[in-house]
């Protein structure tokens, strides 16, 4: 997959999955734009000094002014990959309304705003958009105990399919991946008794994302691709 001289935005690019995506993209020649919430996040990002990586201290991606600023300076945008988001578990009866709003803003609103900015930046020249849903977005019953999160990610899935139909005439192919629990250090710490060998590796999920964002993907749109590993 050849991304030489192609500009790609990766929100959440400093996280575990995001770093794997950015690494794969720079190896393929892409110029990666990575918005970070604050300076501390940027300093933790292991690829921040790579010559093909441009880190921007952005702030809240659920704010349309912030998102417009992130995308405004990018010429010839080829792809936008939305990984940024957040997780909250808890029974609905015990979930504060603030947490419900937070999950919708972090996972759905930020995704929608970044996709809108990406479509505007692509300006009818074609491109690729890849979002990140989650297993409960496809298998609703698995969202029990995390209903606010599951609902926000189901929204990402529905939004992805709708947007794919809306912008295909502009040569923009829109897809999403839906990971199960990924093999990250944070997840290992949270679930130390799990069988980590069953979890998909971030590099494996990243490979699917990068293909969907690549010029090699010529026909796939509106897909919500399960990336479950062996779970």
Task: Confirm whether 115 is domain-assigned.
Answer: yes
Work out the pLDDT band at 93, boundaries 50, 70, 90.
very high
pLDDT of 1: 85
The total domain count for the chain is 1
Task: Confirm whether 57 is domain-assigned.
Answer: yes
Task: Confirm whether 184 is domain-assigned.
Answer: yes
**163 closest CA partner among 130, 141, 139, 140:** 130
Task: Confirm whether 157 is domain-assigned.
Answer: no
Task: Confirm whether 159 is domain-assigned.
Answer: no
pLDDT of 45: 97
**Does pLDDT of 231 surpass 90?**
no
User: 46 lies in which domain range?
Assistant: 7-86+111-135+165-227
**Does pLDDT of 136 surpass 90?**
yes
Work out the pLDDT band at 73, boundaries 50, 70, 90.
confident
Task: Confirm whether 188 is domain-assigned.
Answer: yes
- pTM score of the predicted model: 0.96
Task: Confirm whether 150 is domain-assigned.
Answer: no
pLDDT of 15: 96
Q: Are the C-beta atoms of residues 176 and 130 closer than 8 Å to each other?
A: yes
Which residues contact residue 94 at a Cβ distance below 8 angstroms, ignoring those fewer than 6 apart?
none
CATH number at residue 197: 3.40.50.720
Task: Confirm whether 93 is domain-assigned.
Answer: no
pLDDT tens profile 174-222? 999 999 999 999 999 999 999 999 999 999 999 999 999 999 999 999 9
Instruction: State how far the alpha carbon of 223 is from the alpha carbons of 5, 114, 116, 173, in Å.
Output: 26, 18, 18, 10
Backbone phi, then psi, for 125, in 5-degree steps? -90, 0
């Amino acid at each position: 997959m050849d991304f030489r001289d192609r500009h790609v935005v990766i929100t959440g690019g400093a996280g575990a999955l995001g770093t794997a995506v950015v690494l794969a993209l720079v190896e393929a020649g892409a110029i990666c734009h990575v918005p970070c919430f604050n300076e501390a996040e940027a300093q933790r990002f292991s690829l921040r000094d790579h010559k093909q990586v441009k880190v921007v201290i952005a702030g809240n991606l659920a704010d349309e002014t912030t998102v417009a600023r992130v995308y405004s300076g990018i010429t010839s945008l080829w792809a936008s990959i939305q990984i940024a988001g957040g997780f909250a578990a808890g029974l609905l009866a015990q979930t504060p309304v603030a947490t419900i709003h937070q999950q919708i803003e972090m996972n759905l609103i930020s995704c929608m705003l970044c996709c809108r900015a990406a479509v505007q930046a692509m300006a009818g020249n074609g491109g690729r958009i890849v979002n990140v849903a989650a297993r409960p977005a496809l298998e609703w019953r698995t969202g029990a105990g995390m209903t606010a999160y599951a609902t926000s990610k189901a929204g990402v899935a529905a939004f992805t399919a709708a947007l794919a139909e809306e912008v295909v005439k502009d040569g923009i192919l829109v897809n999403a991946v839906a990971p199960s629990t990924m093999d990250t250090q944070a997840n290992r710490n949270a679930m130390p008794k799990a069988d980590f060998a069953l979890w998909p590796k971030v590099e494996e999920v990243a490979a699917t994302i990068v293909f969907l964002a690549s010029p090699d993907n010529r026909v796939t749109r509106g897909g919500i691709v399960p990336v479950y590993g062996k779970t």
